[in-house]
Chain A
Amino acid sequence: MRQSLFQSNAVKTLALRGLRGYFETPSAYVALFVFYLLAGYLFAFPLFLLGQASIKSLMDFAPLLLSFLIPALTMGLISEEIKSGTFETLATLPLQDWDIVLGKYLGFAGLALTAVGGLLFFPLALSALVQPQSGVDWGESLGILAGLAWLSLMYGAAGLFASSLTKNQIVAFVSSFMISFFFFVCGKFAGLLPGPLGGLAEFVGVDSHLSNMAKGVLDTRDLLYFLSVIAAFLYLTVERLQARRF
């Protein structure tokens, strides 16, 4: 009998457990607190000082902020299981490595999407504050939030992979940050590089894809970019786990 790539019941159990696990330790609370505090500052600063009724400024700083915060949420996902030995228990249950990886990833994704979803508060608050005739550009706002959501999911996949590389959560955090930062910074250098190399850097970096979304433009090429990077990291994580070399 041909086996499917994953078993949905097992993935669901693992994902719910992962999501619940976040709230049983202070880590998720601390990460969310820092995230909203900084996001609130990034939102309120231009609003009150510059009179800018937009969440655009989030787009300028949030990618950098997420490259720190997402690794903090993903660093323990697999490394902790390897360190405590529970990975062996998981891997000898009737589960495939894809079940484990998807379950872990979706648990993280649940938290990340909730966190980004919480940012909806800002455009909602704006629409209550500003004059009705000037209004809030909802296309732009939702585009920005969608961009941040995709970015979190992408950084998360990289973080999951980094977490499978080592027993040490700190090492996982640093490697995850380095991968995320690479994608963050890559597009920024695109202008400095000659011809095709610049084009490549622009495509690999997140900036060009995010800026489309921030304009409220949903381009399938951007979605494809995020989806393929996510899929690639999940695949690498499965490959890494299958080697069983910890």
Chain B
Amino acid sequence: MIRAVSLTKKFDSRVAVDHLDFEIPRGQVVGFLGPNGAGKTTTMRLLTAYLPPDEGRAELMGQDVSADPLSVRQRLGYLPENNPLYDDFELTDSLHYVAKLRGLNDPKERWERVKLVLRACGLKREIGKKVGELSKGYRQRLGLAQAIVHDPDVLILDEPTSGLDPNQVQEVRSLIRELRQEKTVLLSTHILPEVTATCDRVIIINSGRIVADGTPEQISGDVQNKNRLYIELKGPREAIETSFQGLEGATSVRPESQTGSGCSGFIIESEAGRDLREEVFNLASLKRWPIMAMRQEKLSLEEVFRKLTQSQ
């Protein structure tokens, strides 16, 4: 659905996007992460044919965007950075204007679509207001409504929740979650919980290059290089530690703080991809040490992000 093939963009001597390669299949919601200036916006501008690439190509729905930008844009919804809007328009006029420019020339059909997106984006209460009078949250919804008014297959959203308060962020996120059922979405953000909340997959870029690509879990696993399991049991502390050390695949066992009522916590590390939870459970039940808690310890996305984008 969305494909970048060796996509490159230079501004004078600075390389903003450096041979990016990725492919996003239909129906996936992908978070595009990276520090400021990493090349997120430029990549999005290349994908929407706003800017021409210097090398490589961008494809949407199997078509090279530079070869036939108009027909590609018919099926694309794009929310540019900072959500630019015409403040002098009345809310519905603004939607009609964009819908007309998108080729929805039949007034009846256009009205249907406008009504539909007004409802979908929760904008009905604001009808009659000028765009300039809308609160930031509603402006963002209007930006989204303009991007989806023609029912596109692909949505590219540049920081759709930046500058919103937590409630508004939540609202816009749930709107995006509703869209995911039928559309392919690429959204850029530097708000990390957003990715875990809305995205199936994350692409992290830094200095115009991809530094990680996968599900949030995969990425933190890759960066971590090993599996960490936290377990809390009731039983004799030393005996437990020795038993676990004998477990096949365990590279280290570290006692954690002792909690009340005879419980002890341990961190068991194994190689990446080696999941010890089943063995740990079997051993504990054999020894009749009741398991009070067990979880896989992951690096948070924040830690992963910092590790990946600061190491270069």
Instruction: Check B88–A24 contact: CB distance below 8 A.
Output: yes
Q: Is B82 an interface residue (CB 8 A)?
A: yes
Q: Is B48 an interface residue (CB 8 A)?
A: yes
Instruction: Check B50–A94 contact: CB distance below 8 A.
Output: no
Residues of chain B in range 49-102 having any CB-CB distance to chain A below 8 Å? 49-51, 69-71, 73-74, 76, 78, 80-82, 84-88, 97-98, 100-102
Q: Which residues of B contact A92 (CB under 8 A)?
A: 48-50, 73, 76, 78, 80
Instruction: Check A85–B82 contact: CB distance below 8 A.
Output: yes
Instruction: Check A17–B97 contact: CB distance below 8 A.
Output: yes
Q: Which residues of A contact B76 (CB under 8 A)?
A: 92
Q: Which residues of A contact B73 (CB under 8 A)?
A: 92-94
Closest Cβ of chain B to A7, distance in Å, is: 8
Query: Given A14-B101, A91-B50, A92-B48, A85 and B80 touching (CB < 8 A)?
Result: yes
Closest Cβ of chain B to A15, distance in Å, is: 12
Q: Considering the chains assembled together, what is the distance between the CA atoms of A49 and B110 in angstroms?
A: 59
Closest to A81 in B: B84
* Interface size band for A: 20 to 34
Q: Considering the chains assembled together, what is the distance between the CA atoms of A93 and B76 in angstroms?
A: 9
Query: Given A13-B97, A88-B50, A96 and B70 touching (CB < 8 A)?
Result: yes
Q: Which residues of B contact A14 (CB under 8 A)?
A: 101
Q: Considering the chains assembled together, what is the distance between the CA atoms of A96 and B101 in angstroms?
A: 11
Closest Cβ of chain A to B306, distance in Å, is: 30
Instruction: Check A89–B84 contact: CB distance below 8 A.
Output: yes
Closest to B70 in A: A94
Q: What is the 8 Å Cβ interface bit string for chain A, positions 93-126, against chain B (1 contact, 0 not)?
A: 1111000000000000000000000000000000
Instruction: Check A84–B84 contact: CB distance below 8 A.
Output: yes
Q: Which residues of A contact B48 (CB under 8 A)?
A: 92
Q: Is B103 an interface residue (CB 8 A)?
A: yes
Closest to A14 in B: B101
Q: Which residues of B contact A9 (CB under 8 A)?
A: 100, 103, 105
Closest to B52 in A: A244
Q: Considering the chains assembled together, what is the distance between the CA atoms of A21 and B49 in angstroms?
A: 28
Q: How many residues of B contact A (CB 8 A)?
A: 28
Instruction: Check B80–A89 contact: CB distance below 8 A.
Output: yes
Instruction: Check B81–A85 contact: CB distance below 8 A.
Output: yes
Q: Considering the chains assembled together, what is the distance between the CA atoms of A25 and B89 in angstroms?
A: 12
Closest Cβ of chain B to A233, distance in Å, is: 24
Closest Cβ of chain B to A205, distance in Å, is: 38
Instruction: Check B103–A86 contact: CB distance below 8 A.
Output: no
Closest Cβ of chain A to B143, distance in Å, is: 9
Closest Cβ of chain A to B96, distance in Å, is: 9
Query: Given A3-B70, A84-B84, A86-B86, A94 and B49 touching (CB < 8 A)?
Result: no
Q: Considering the chains assembled together, what is the distance between the CA atoms of A148 and B50 in angstroms?
A: 38
Q: Is A44 an interface residue (CB 8 A)?
A: no
Q: Which residues of A contact B49 (CB under 8 A)?
A: 92
Q: Considering the chains assembled together, what is the distance between the CA atoms of A172 and B84 in angstroms?
A: 21
Q: Considering the chains assembled together, what is the distance between the CA atoms of A226 and B39 in angstroms?
A: 44
Q: What is the 8 Å Cβ interface bit string for chain A, positions 44-80, against chain B (1 contact, 0 not)?
A: 0000000000000000000000000000000000000
Q: Which residues of A contact B85 (CB under 8 A)?
A: 86
Closest to B73 in A: A94
Q: Is A149 an interface residue (CB 8 A)?
A: no
Instruction: Check A94–B102 contact: CB distance below 8 A.
Output: yes
Query: Given A9-B103, A9-B105, A244-B50, A85 and B98 touching (CB < 8 A)?
Result: no
Q: What is the 8 Å Cβ interface bit string for chain B, positions 20-57, against chain A (1 contact, 0 not)?
A: 00000000000000000000000001001111000000
Q: Is A10 an interface residue (CB 8 A)?
A: yes
Q: Considering the chains assembled together, what is the distance between the CA atoms of A6 and B169 in angstroms?
A: 39
Question: Contact partner of B88 among A10, A21, A91, A94, CB < 8 A?
Answer: A21
Q: Which residues of B contact A90 (CB under 8 A)?
A: 101
Closest to B105 in A: A9
Q: Considering the chains assembled together, what is the distance between the CA atoms of A5 and B51 in angstroms?
A: 20
Closest Cβ of chain B to A193, distance in Å, is: 41
20 contacts across the A-B interface (CB closer than 8 A) = A9-B100, A9-B103, A10-B100, A13-B100, A13-B101, A17-B97, A25-B88, A84-B87, A86-B84, A88-B50, A89-B78, A89-B80, A92-B48, A92-B76, A93-B73, A94-B69, A94-B73, A94-B101, A94-B103, A244-B50
For the complex of A and B, the 5 pairs showing the least CB-CB separation, nearest first, are A85-B84, A94-B73, A88-B80, A86-B84, A92-B48
| Residues of A that sit less than 8 Å from B by CB | 3, 9-10, 13-14, 17, 21, 24-25, 84-86, 88-96, 244
Beyond the given A14-B101, A93-B102, A96-B70, please list 20 additional residue pairs across the A-B interface where CB-CB is below 8 A: A3-B70, A9-B100, A10-B100, A24-B88, A25-B88, A84-B84, A84-B86, A84-B87, A85-B81, A86-B85, A89-B146, A92-B48, A92-B80, A94-B69, A94-B70, A94-B71, A94-B74, A94-B101, A95-B70, A95-B101
